[in-house]
Amino acid sequence: MAVGEKAKINAAREALKLVEDKTTIGIGTGSTSSEFIKLLAEKARNEKLKIECVSTSSKSTLLAQSLGLEIVEFEEVEEIDLAVDGADQIDPQLNLVKGWGGGAIYQEKRVDYKAKKFVVIADEAKLVQKLHGNVPVEVEKEKAEEVMEEMDEMGALSAKFREQNGKKFVTDNGNYILDVEFREVKNPVELEQQLSKVDGVFENGVFTKNVFKAIIGTEDGVKVINKK
């Protein structure tokens, strides 16, 4: 088992305890979320649970469906009982940065913010004292260059297009991702709001709302951080 994999599984398994029958579950995107999806499918099958899932990305949808989970569209559900998603950075106040490895931040934020309970699962390496470094920003293609200039004015150290196989990465929504580098995010709430107001920004990877708790996996078990 790869280094850190056991910690991710431990976090996912702990989150699984929050799943109840006849509920709607938001399933996240990323390596730890994938472990949760696998365990969720096993639990639903073994216990014959009636659950439906709202997915945050095409990748998670494919995985969930391959394991027999029912996927429903975001627009089809009135409420989401529980969302379980990963993060790339988590600060002590449970502010998050998400989206380093993929381009699903728009759908992740819609699902995670709609949920009655939003639980973050991650390994210990994701804990930081201050959010810093890369903040992914999803931008409309035709306004991407203008947004890059705006990032300079907001104090970013740099902003560059995310690439995949030598080409600009394109999200499920047909947009680009800018990886915007900040030395330190002094006020996550303010930054999330500022980025959302920039013309051409579709969504950003700062998450400051609705987190119920963080479940941090370790090699030996888990530790839980509740929202203060």
Nearest in space to 38 (alpha carbons), one of 63, 18, 17: 63
Q: What does the block give as tokens for 155?
A: 């104090």
Q: Is 108 a catalytic residue?
A: yes
Could you please report the per-residue DSSP string of the chain? --TTHHHHHHHHHHHHTT--SSEEEEE--SHHHHHHHHHHHHHHHHHT--EEEEESSHHHHHHHHHTT--B--GGG-S-EEEEEE--SEE-TT--EE--SS-S-HHHHHHHHHHEEEEEEEEEGGGB-SS--EEEEEEE-GGGHHHHHHHHHHTT-SEEEE-EETTEE-B-TTS-EEEEEEES--S-HHHHHHHHHHSTTEEEESEE-S-EEEEEEE-SS-EEEEE--
What is the rounded CA–CA span in Å between residue 227 and residue 93?
Answer: 7
Q: What does the block give as tokens for 124?
A: 């210990």
Catalytic residue, from 35, 108, 138, 150: name it.
Answer: 108
Q: Which residues are catalytic?
A: 108
